[in-house]
Amino acid sequence: MTWSINVLYALDLGASILQVNLITTIWSTMGILLQVPFGILSDRLGRKPMLLYPTFVGFMGSLIRAFAGDPNHLLLAAFVGGTAGGGFFPVLLSMVADVTSTREEQKKAIGTLYLFSSVGMLLGPILCTILLTLPGIGLRNIYQFDAVAQAIVTVYVFVMVKETRSPVGKSEKTSYTANIKDLIRVKDYQRLLSMALLYFFFFSTMGTYIPIYSRQNLGLSDPEIASFSTYRSLAILLVRFLSAPLLSRVSAKSFLMFALVLGGVAGLATPLATNYLLVVLVTFSYGLSFGAAAFLGPILVAANSTSRNRGIANSVYSLFQSAGNFTTVVTSPLATALGVASVFLVGGVAAIVSSVPIRSCKDERGGSSQN
C-alpha cells in the first residue's frame, strides 16, 4: 500500500524534491553499509534470525511514518528502516534456494516466491486506492494500517517460519573469506552486479518521479496517482504468472535482456505521456520490465553461488540494487534545472545500457560461468 503513496505523503508534509530523494538515499545508504554483514550473518547464524530482525525494524519504521509531522520524521523512518540491511527478501531468496536441490527446482521455486510477492504487490495498491476514495481516509491512515500489518508479519515470522540453514562448522567459518573471494571472481556474477546497479537506478527514478510528474505537470489526483501502483503490480503479476512457460522456451539470460530493454523504452517514452491513460501505459510497461528483471537476476545469482556463500551472494547483489537506488539523489539538480522529464531520459538510457553486461553472460541453461 505504501509504495503507492510514499512520494505523495512526503510532498504533503512539505518535502522538497531533494528531501524526497534523500528519503530513498538514506535507506539505500544504510542498506549499502549493512547488506554484506547481514549476508555473512545469514550464512553463519542461520536464516531465521536475519529474517526476523528486518521485519521488526520494518514495523518500527512504519510506526514512525504513521505519526510523522514533517519531512524530518520521514528521514528518521528511512534511517530506522535502513538498519534492516535492505529488508528480508535476500534472506527469503537464500531460504528458497536452500530447500531446492537442482537448478530447475531453484528456478521454479524462486519464480513461485516472486509470483506470490507480486500478488501482494497488486492487492496493496488496489486496497490503498479504494481506501483513499472513502470519506475520512487520508494518506496517514494508510501508514497506520501498514504498521498493523508489519506487526502481524513479525509475529508470523517468529511463530511459523522454520530455519533452512544447517549450523556452520568451524572449518566452514575459517574458509569463509575464501568462499567470498571465489564468488566475486565469477565473471557472470560481476556482470549481474553491474546490471543491478544500472537497472535499479532506472527503477528508482521511475518510482520517484512519476508521482511528482503526475501531480506537478499533469495535475492528477491522489487516487489516480495511487492507482498507478495497481497497474504496475498487475504487470508484475502477469509476467511472473507467465514466467514458467516462457522460461521453458527461452533462457533466463535472453528473457532478462528483453526485460531490461523494455524498461529503458518505457523510461524514454515517459515524457510523452501527457494524460492519465498514457501514464498508465508507461507504468504497465515498466512494471512488465521490473516484474521479469526482479526474479531473473536472483535466478542467475543462485546459479553462480553455493549453499556456503548464497547468503552473501544475494546480499551483495541486493547491495548493488541499493546503490542504484542511492544514485537517484544526483538527479535532483537535473530535475530542478531541466525539469522532471529529463530524468526519465537518463533513467531510460541506464536501463538499456544495463543489458550490455548481461549479453556477455553464458546461457543459464548451459550452466554458470566460473571463469
Q: At residue 274, what is the residue type?
A: T
Q: Give the pLDDT mean for 56-79.
A: 89
pLDDT for the residue numbered 43: 74
Q: Give the pLDDT mean for 235-247.
A: 83
pLDDT for the residue numbered 330: 80
- Residue 309 in this model has a pLDDT that exceeds 80: no
Lowest mean pLDDT among 59-63, 83-87, 95-99, 145-149: 83-87
pLDDT for the residue numbered 50: 82
187 contacts 369 by C-beta, under 8 angstroms: yes
94: exposed, middle or buried (C-beta count within 10 Å: 0-12, 13-18, 19+)?
A: buried
- Residue 30 in this model has a pLDDT that exceeds 90: no
Most confident of 87-91, 128-132, 362-366: 128-132
One-character DSSP codes across 319-359: HHHHHHHHGGGGHHHHHHHH-HHHHHHHHHHHHHHTHHHHH
334-370 CB burial, b ≥16 within 10 A, e <16: ebeeeebeebbbbbbebbbbbbebbeebbebeeebbe
- Residue 90 in this model has a pLDDT that exceeds 90: no
pLDDT for the residue numbered 367: 43
- The set of cell numbers assigned to 296 is 531473473
Query: How many C-beta neighbours within 10 Å does residue 181 have?
Result: 10
Comparison of pLDDT for 271 and 101, the residue scoring more: 271
Which pLDDT band, with edges at 50, 70 and 90, does 289 fall under?
very high
Percent of the chain whose predicted confidence (pLDDT) is above 70: 90
What is this structure's pTM? Answer: 0.68
Closest-CA residue to 77 (of 4, 124, 152, 9) = 9
pLDDT for the residue numbered 195: 93
Which pLDDT band, with edges at 50, 70 and 90, does 86 fall under?
low
pLDDT for the residue numbered 370: 39
Question: Which residue has cell 554483514?
Answer: 37
Q: Which domains does the chain have, with CATH numbers?
A: 2-366 (1.20.1250.20)
Comparison of pLDDT for 40 and 86, the residue scoring more: 40
- Residue 169 in this model has a pLDDT that exceeds 60: no
122 contacts 1 by C-beta, under 8 angstroms: no
Sequence-separated (6 or more) residues with CB below 8 Å from residue 344: 205, 206, 209, 213, 267, 268, 270, 271
CA angle, residues 323, 59, 88, in degrees to nearest 5: 45
**Collapsing DSSP states into helix, strand and coil, what is residue 360?**
coil
Q: Give the pLDDT mean for 282-303.
A: 88
Lowest mean pLDDT among 24-28, 80-84, 312-316, 321-325: 24-28
pLDDT for the residue numbered 253: 85
Predicted confidence (pLDDT) per residue in 196-227, tens digit? 999 999 998 898 899 989 988 999 988 888 88
315 contacts 86 by C-beta, under 8 angstroms: yes
Comparison of pLDDT for 225 and 21, the residue scoring more: 225
Sequence-separated (6 or more) residues with CB below 8 Å from residue 229: 3, 4, 121, 124, 125, 128
Q: At residue 239, what is the residue type?
A: V
- Angle of helix 252-269 relative to helix 276-303, nearest 10 degrees, comes to 150
Q: What is the mean pLDDT of the chain?
A: 82
334 contacts 346 by C-beta, under 8 angstroms: yes
- The set of cell numbers assigned to 46 is 542461520
Separation of alpha carbons 144 and 67, rounded Å = 8
Q: Give the pLDDT mean for 5-24.
A: 83
Sequence-separated (6 or more) residues with CB below 8 Å from residue 299: 106, 107, 110, 111, 252, 364
- Residue 366 in this model has a pLDDT that exceeds 70: no
Which pLDDT band, with edges at 50, 70 and 90, does 282 fall under?
very high
pLDDT for the residue numbered 174: 47
Most confident of 174-178, 179-183, 283-287: 283-287
- Residue 146 in this model has a pLDDT that exceeds 80: yes
pLDDT for the residue numbered 270: 94
Percent of the chain whose predicted confidence (pLDDT) is above 90: 21
- Residue 131 in this model has a pLDDT that exceeds 70: yes
pLDDT for the residue numbered 119: 83
pLDDT for the residue numbered 38: 75
Question: Which residue has cell 536472483?
Answer: 298
pLDDT for the residue numbered 107: 75
Separation of alpha carbons 57 and 53, rounded Å = 6
**Collapsing DSSP states into helix, strand and coil, what is residue 261?**
helix
Which pLDDT band, with edges at 50, 70 and 90, does 371 fall under?
very low
167: exposed, middle or buried (C-beta count within 10 Å: 0-12, 13-18, 19+)?
A: exposed
Sequence-separated (6 or more) residues with CB below 8 Å from residue 109: 96, 97, 99, 100
Distances (CA, A) of 253 to 133, 246, 250, 323, 362: 42, 12, 8, 22, 8
pLDDT for the residue numbered 199: 94
Separation of alpha carbons 54 and 362, rounded Å = 34
